[in-house]
Amino acid sequence: SGLCVALLGVASDKACAPTRRLAAATFARNCLRKRWGGSSRGDELEAGTETGGVGGITQPARCEVRTAALKALVVAPVDTRRLLADCLRLAAHDAVAMRPSDINETETAFAKTDRFASAARLIEDVIAFATSDASPGALFNQPGLLLATYVASAPFQYFRDPTVAIENAHPCAERLCAALIVPRLVKELEELAGATGDPSRDTSHTLRVAFKILFRLTRAHMPCALANELPQIVRSVENVCASCVFSKNVLSPECWIAVKRGLKLGASLLTRHADVLDAVSVTKLVHAAKSIASIAPGSNTPPPQVTAAAFALLRAALDRRSTRDALVPDLVGAKDDKARESSRRVLLALFVRDCVLPHVSLTAEDREGLFNDPEEYARANACGEARCDGDSMEECLDGGDAGGVTARNAALDFLEHLAVVSFESTEAVKQKPAKKQKKEKKITQEGDEVDEDNENSKPTLGELAARDVMDVLLSKAPKGKVEKVGKAAAASGVTIAHVAPMAEAALGESAYFGLLRVMGALTSASHKAKESATRQFLRKHAFPAVAAAASPHVVVAAACHLAAVSTKITTPVVAREAFSALVAALERPTPEAIDAEDEDKVEEAWRVTRDAASWAARAVCAEAPCADEAFGVASSEATVCLAERLVALAEKNPAKGAAPLRALAGLAEAATSAIATVTAAVLAARIVHAYAEVCPNGNEGDGCDDDGDDETGIDAWETSVEAVASLCECAENCEGNDEATVTKTAAAKTKLAAIAAAHVRAYWKAAAAMEPPCFSVGDDDDDGTDMHDANETDTPPAHPATAPMLRFACQTLAEASTSGAAVDAATASKVFAAAGDWASFLPAWQRREGDEICDDDALDALTCMLGACVESNAGELVTAALAVPGAAAAAATLAETEDSETRCAAARAVAAAVSSCASVATPDVVTAARDAADCAVSPRDSRAALHLLVAVAWEAPSAVAIDPAGWMRAVGDAASASGWNPSDSDDQPLLAAHLDACVCMLRAATKKGASAPDKRLFASTLEEAMKGVNELVDDEEAGTEAEEEDGEDEESDGSESDESDDENADVAHETENEFLERYAAIAQGMADGGGGDGDDGDADENLEETDEAFSAAFAPTKGDGKKSAKRFSEWYRKWKTDGSSGLRTATLVDPVIAKRFEKIFAKTLGA
């Protein structure tokens, strides 16, 4: 701390040179970050230091550093203020880094309530300095003090208790607002924002910091001292926006950032504190946002983040009925509701025309960006799965990377929201009579849904207003007829010659671009969109535009339109027409460039259109409600024709194959069993052959065509893998109807398996040649990672589609082996070798990418591959090549992931690996199994951990022999937590695995020289084993006799059922401690079961699915369980012969279970 204080003293010394002050500030910040940056309140409490010190630094020392940092900041020059503000943040409090989600569960209640204690001390220091003689003049004239105020306000932007909807502001925040914010900051902010003329850079920076302070103080709570000042704050936001709107000069970026911060503050006030705002303030905020949104793209256009902030504020106003009217205030003199609604509709239409449409239409920046930066253009205008998620808006407004947020996307998102909200007042809604029960909808032959309740079919006022604007645009276009492509052509999937839409030339590419995007957003958001109107617009505009428009921008807009309205396409014929038009866009040759020098730019621009068309095609296949019917078995001929057209494009030019193969992958996923196995194998072979011709060998020039300038990139290779994987899935779902078809299908699947394995290897080879992998290890990694460097350097990039491809290939060989069909040895060797290589890469992929690549799908594929190796008799070496690295990756994923599905899949993969290869049961795997049981938090996790434990127990007898009682206890606890009972299961492989584990534990507990086994644990394990045998051995005669004798026993002893006997058999023989343990287990089971909240049915179903999945994993190695039952009988005979460890079976096992087992043992197992 002494060093930090000295450095801060140098930074605040005006006598020192500026460079020395800057160096001292940097050094101080780094020292504080290193010593205090990673501290947390939980660490301090665990260390037992009430002073809050870290690494020997006491609270007085922290106070000394905080004071020095504050003194240095208030006198700091501009180049060191940010560094010293960070020093003050690190030295003053740790609440900034501790959001509610970061609070450790082990923290005490004191720690949770004391999170703002250090922040309170900083607030007092700031207030004391601001009111002292050392701080003369206005707050805004002291930028260092303003930054200190910002640091002091930072912790209060988070909720103290996220479970409470509304809570009072912290007393520290109230103190700061009452003493400094209200009397000085708010007053000075209003004066500065209301000044005439363009704001300077320093003024804009001051406004920005002031808005950020107010935003942080009001984001979660509303301080009472600040509530009365909201009109002045709103007036400041309005004035700042107005000064930028009416400015005739080009404004600086700093000025626009201040506007963005003001708009973000306004949106926060509307979202969290609309009830505190008066109607005038709400109207002013909406007017300010409108004024920014209405600035059309041009020379003085706001940055996209500012426009997005304006639309975010407008959307916040739409979210509440009380603030919604500010968008369209009632006109004075409206006679009735109809006139009021008409006037509002006109106002909304003007708003859409002036604020939304200019940002959606094509701009000069778009035209320039398509040719100069096509990647950014494609990202900004992405559609379907390629479009950024909704979190990018918040990232943009927080000042980070734009993340795909543009003014166009913000305007479209607002328009979609506008189209679904109602502008009816709360009183009008209450006065409406209750709606009648909704009548069933009639579906016409064309696919239209007709709602007989006309009152419910009325669109919202916002949608009607937006469509009014679009109707005005369409009225300027020629009244051409709808392009008729013919149902026969659409049904067959053949190429259709589209004609460029006449509206493109009449409206111009800019307006037509906006028309397509707006209509797509409206149709997507509308709950009342009619199929007939959607179909007519598609056939008249979208289909011909995407297939034949002259402008690449219009093609992209049409593709975005099709992706947006795909959820509204309910007619199979229209869905096929849409996909066929998108394929036509992919087949379209690149227009010739006017200037030879622009040839590359033109080619790249039209590549963007093909990518957009491919993503739209995937959206049609994935999201259209009629996709199964449109591309399924009923339309197999058209589906195959479309698939062949796409494959032909990839064959013609593999370098441009990414777009058509992406569309093919989507088509194959929707087609399910529409593409026959033979056809799928032929299509896959064509793809693989095309890419094998351009597969690079690491030599310069490989991967190019005859001209040497058309290199096949990694994107094309990756989509080719996705396409082949989708074709494999189609082949997997096809089944033959007769013996000849079955034989032909099996041969085609075997061929496809070889093709898939070969293409995976080719992809790895091509990726290594084009993008040599280099998984460098960071400086912060520990030395234990260095041993993996050599292996990771040779690891190809991970591709999620390779796992299902190789699973299909391995399972195909297993099916052929099971059915007795001949499989070429070379094919089997190549398939299993590729699967082994894939498994060998899993540990490196897992370390590199975690469960993003080692997800439940990949781990389930590993489980299936291991089972296929066993069923195919591939040999120990082949199985070990899969099992050893696969188990290592699965165990690491099991220890790291928090996703329940992935944890269960990882447990299954480890269990399958251990069962198929005994050498997998290493100490690390054993530890992972025990840890999984200890860390299980739900019955499903406990059930998966239980099945993993029993698999490891049988294959690791040496580990069980060290502590048999510990293993019995671990298995018993997991079984109790998950509600496992062998008598309730009919999964023979799963029962066999549990029986083998019981045998292993019983052997270890009764071996010579072992101490006397724990009676309760031994009895529980023995009874578990006998239950398993009773369920496994299928001896009807023995079972019948046992049931008859059990019935006689029931009549003689007066018991109600076998179930009651199971529950009460051990009661007479248990001690007091055993009694307490049993009821503790019952209480724990009731707690884990959720207390009867109504979800027991779903929980039982999940447990049954878990059991079935593990049973399938054990099936190749455990079979029907007869061998396991035989092993137990052999141990049981030997144990009885050796004296039963001095114990009587009748005192250990339920008599009913023991009697049935003895019958089975005497008649079948003991023979």
What b/e sequence results for 73-82 when a residue is b if at least 16 CB atoms lie within 10 Å of its CB, and e otherwise? bbbbeeebbe
- CA distance linking residue 104 with residue 581, whole number of Å: 55
Angle between helices 552-565 and 599-623 (to 10 degrees): 10
Among residues 909, 972, 898, 983, which one has the least CA distance to residue 941? 898
Helices of type H across 373-486? 374-380, 391-397, 407-418, 426-431, 461-474
Whether the Cβ atoms of residue 581 and residue 645 lie closer than 8 Å to each other: no
Angle between helices 636-652 and 658-671 (to 10 degrees): 160
Number of Cα atoms under 13 Å in the Cβ half of residue 539:
21
What does the block give as tokens for 340? 């009021």
Looking at residue 448, what DSSP letter applies?
A: -
In degrees rounded to 5, what are phi and psi of residue 449?
A: -95, 120
- CA distance linking residue 82 with residue 1084, whole number of Å: 54
Question: Which residues share a beta bridge with 442?
Answer: 450
Residue by residue, DSSP assigns 229-248 as THHHHHHHHHHHHHHHHS--
Give the pLDDT score at 44.
38
Contacts of 942 (CB under 8 A, 6+ apart): 933, 936, 974, 977, 978, 1088
- CA distance linking residue 499 with residue 542, whole number of Å: 11
Whether the Cβ atoms of residue 128 and residue 88 lie closer than 8 Å to each other: no
Whether the Cβ atoms of residue 1114 and residue 993 lie closer than 8 Å to each other: yes
What does the block give as tokens for 50? 């009430």
- CA distance linking residue 651 with residue 654, whole number of Å: 6
Looking at residue 450, what DSSP letter applies?
A: E
Give, in order, the Cα–Cα distances in Å from 113 to each of 103, 118, 170, 956. 11, 12, 10, 49
Give the pLDDT score at 32.
84
Whether the Cβ atoms of residue 932 and residue 907 lie closer than 8 Å to each other: yes
Residue by residue, DSSP assigns 70-132 as HHHHHT--TTTHHHHHHHHHHHH-SSTT--GGG--TT--HHHHHTTTHHHHHHHHHHHHHHTS
Give the pLDDT score at 427.
57
Question: Which residues share a beta bridge with 281?
Answer: none
Among residues 478, 602, 456, which one has the least CA distance to residue 527? 456
- CA distance linking residue 845 with residue 850, whole number of Å: 7
pTM for the whole structure: 0.82
Among residues 229, 288, 225, which one has the least CA distance to residue 258? 288
Q: What is the CA radius of gyration of the chain?
A: 36
Give the pLDDT score at 54.
41
Give the pLDDT score at 769.
83
Give, in order, the Cα–Cα distances in Å from 778 to each of 89, 122, 865. 28, 37, 34
Number of Cα atoms under 13 Å in the Cβ half of residue 269:
29
- CA distance linking residue 90 with residue 154, whole number of Å: 12
Q: What H or E segment, with its residue span, contains residue 1100?
A: helix 1096-1118
Tell whether the torsion through CA atoms of 502, 508, 511 and 513 is positive or negative. positive
In degrees rounded to 5, what are phi and psi of residue 10?
A: -65, -40
Looking at residue 795, what DSSP letter applies?
A: P
- CA distance linking residue 335 with residue 325, whole number of Å: 18
Give Cα 693 to chain centroid, integer Å: 37
Whether the Cβ atoms of residue 139 and residue 189 lie closer than 8 Å to each other: no
DSSP E strand stretches across 421-578: 442-443, 449-450
Give Cα 723 to chain centroid, integer Å: 23
- CA distance linking residue 542 with residue 515, whole number of Å: 10
Among residues 462, 433, 156, 484, which one has the least CA distance to residue 315? 462
Contacts of 342 (CB under 8 A, 6+ apart): none
pLDDT along the chain (1167 residues), means of 10: 86 89 90 64 36 51 85 89 89 50 39 60 88 76 91 82 71 91 93 83 92 92 92 95 87 92 95 91 95 87 92 93 83 66 90 94 92 91 75 42 72 93 67 52 41 56 93 86 56 68 90 95 86 89 93 96 94 93 93 79 92 95 92 87 94 93 94 87 95 75 44 89 94 75 88 94 88 43 44 76 94 87 86 94 87 87 94 90 93 89 93 92 91 88 92 92 91 91 88 92 86 84 90 58 48 44 49 60 57 49 86 90 89 84 76 87 68
- CA distance linking residue 17 with residue 11, whole number of Å: 9
Among residues 824, 659, 639, 658, which one has the least CA distance to residue 730? 639
- CA distance linking residue 841 with residue 764, whole number of Å: 11
- CA distance linking residue 834 with residue 146, whole number of Å: 63
Looking at residue 181, what DSSP letter applies?
A: I
**Residue 580: strand, helix, or coil:** helix
